[in-house]
Amino acid sequence: MAWEWNGTLSKAAGNATLFALYLAMQQSALADTISIESPSEDEASSDITQRLEALNFYRKAPLFASESDWLHMNRLSQKIAHQVTQQEPSSLQFDEVRLHNEMHPVPLAQTNDAKKIRQDIITNCSLATQKRIAATYSSSIGEDNTMLSDIIEQSESFLAA
């Protein structure tokens, strides 16, 4: 549906009935949506990126959590709990906690899969969205000429009745 990409939906935001119609059309669109593939990286730009990463000596946050990351996060929470029990909450100094957090950055996600959607989120979606995610609907229908004779026989029985 081209109207998804040219701003038709945002233009209809002032008209409630038209906006509701467009949303219903979007909801009932069972075919696969258009996906835009990113172009492949050029070798020269990747070489520059690798050189810049080699110059940076700070640790980067990992993309997914490993077993050691869970241990570091456990130590971090223990240090925070220890400082809270030792001092007044108004005079807390988290220098040691900040240092540990900089030395062992927290991972950005539990898994390194940008397209992963949790099952409880999929369950709360509409049936059409669940089917689209499960890829059970197909936007193409195969032609089967052998079933034409069955349709003719059934139509003759309807005409006789």
pTM of the entire structure? 0.40
For residues 139 and 32, the answer to whether their CB atoms sit within 8 Å is yes
The answer, yes or no, to whether residue 17 has pLDDT greater than 70, is yes
Half-sphere exposure of 146 (CA within 13 A, CB side): 1
Whole-number pLDDT of residue 83: 80
Distance of CA 137 to the CA centre of its chain: 20
pLDDT, tens digit (0-9, with 9 covering 90-100), for 93-112: 778 788 888 888 888 888 88
Whole-number pLDDT of residue 124: 92
Whole-number pLDDT of residue 40: 60
Residue 80 to residues 16, 66, 84, 126: CA-CA distances in angstroms?
A: 51, 22, 6, 42
Domain range annotation of the chain? 1-31
pLDDT, tens digit (0-9, with 9 covering 90-100), for 21-57: 887 777 665 555 555 565 565 666 777 878 887 787 7
Whole-number pLDDT of residue 13: 84
The answer, yes or no, to whether residue 75 has pLDDT greater than 80, is yes
DSSP string covering 23-65: HHHHHT--SPPP-PPPPPPPHHHHHHHHHHHHH--SPPPPSS-
The answer, yes or no, to whether residue 151 has pLDDT greater than 70, is yes
